[in-house]
Amino acid sequence: MVAKKIGMVLLIAFLIFFVVNSPTDAAAVVKNIQHLLGHGFDSISEFIRSFED
């Protein structure tokens, strides 16, 4: 339980450090994640719609 809390604190600290030191790269990472999630949901919805035909 303690290790999980320490890991979360370190992750949050790293994210803050990354955003402060390189906001342009951080924005690009967020944009890429958004693109991947959107593409993934589109693919899943297309797969589900294929059973309706």
Cα 7–32–8 angle (5° rounding)? Answer: 10
The pLDDT confidence band at residue 4, using thresholds 50, 70 and 90, is: very high
- For residue range 5-52, what is the model confidence (pLDDT) as tens digits? 999 999 999 999 999 999 999 999 999 999 999 999 999 999 999 988
